Amino acid sequence: MSPRTKFVMIFLLFSVPFIASTITFLVWKPSVTNNYGELLSPVVALPEAKLSRVDIEGTGEGANNVANKELIEKSLRGKWLMLTRDSGACEAACQKKLYAMRQTRLSIGREQDRVARVVLVDDDVAPNAALVAEFQGTIWISAKALSWLTKLPSAEANARNHIYGVDTLGNVFIRYGADPDIKRMMKDFQRVLKASQIG
């Protein structure tokens, strides 16, 4: 075998993996993904906003300032969020979402402190004490005039039909239906938290 033939064979041998990987990348599109929720592409960035809690007792400007400080500095800063929007009355469908969010977070185990549960209250109704107690740890934000409501992507006419995942930078990256499979939703969040050391 001549040196030229040897060179060509070696070149072809080393070129095959590169050519195959290029063709695969450009042509083959995997139809199966590991995620359960609907990944949003591009992600939706929630703008910075002044947030007020409606689940903390007390009224007046002083109480609101305390609530804002507690919300921003302790409850949400650097957290991954499970976020939904609904009335403060939070009837059966709303409570089903809150149950899914609570159980998903609990199922995450030792990483659960990295995740916060948030309800954007899109009307003038404050959640009653029994509801707040039942879903203790959920943060209820007054959102009727909050720009976040117009940013949340919604495929249906009823904008209350979703649970959203929000990263630590305020990007909405995934969406679930109002009655998700808790085990599969938990696996999505476990993957995200394992892959990211932020938050």
- Please state, in angstroms and rounded to a whole number, the distance separating the CA atoms of residues 82 and 76: 11
- Is residue 20, in this structure, part of any structural domain at all? no
- Please state, in angstroms and rounded to a whole number, the distance separating the CA atoms of residues 162 and 178: 5
Q: What is the pLDDT of residues 183-192, one digit of tens each?
A: 999 999 999 9
Amino acid letter, 60: G
Q: Would you state the structure tokens that stand for residue 99, as one six-digit string?
A: 């149950």
- Is residue 91, in this structure, part of any structural domain at all? yes
Which pLDDT belongs to residue 154? 72
- Is residue 26, in this structure, part of any structural domain at all? no
- Is residue 98, in this structure, part of any structural domain at all? yes
The domain total for the chain is 1
Q: What is the pLDDT of residues 32-66, one digit of tens each?
A: 568 999 999 999 999 988 888 888 754 444 445 55
What residues in the chain have per-residue pLDDT under 70?
Answer: 25, 28-33, 57-75, 155-157, 199
Give the contacts of 44 (CB within 8 A, at least 6 positions apart). Answer: 151, 152, 153, 171, 172
- Is residue 33, in this structure, part of any structural domain at all? no
> Structure pTM?
0.77
In the numeric block, the tokens 């305020």 are attached to 170
Coil, strand or helix: which one is 111? Answer: helix
- Residue 48, judged by CB atoms within 10 A of its CB (0-12, 13-18, 19+), counts as exposed
- Is residue 32, in this structure, part of any structural domain at all? no
- Is residue 77, in this structure, part of any structural domain at all? yes
Return the HEC string of 113-169: HHEEEEEEECCCCCCCHHHHHHCCCCEEEECCCCCHHHHCCCCCCCCCCEEEEECCC
Query: In which domain, by residue range, is 53 found?
Result: 38-195
Task: Indicate which CATH number applies to the domain containing 184.
Answer: 3.40.30.10
- Is residue 11, in this structure, part of any structural domain at all? no
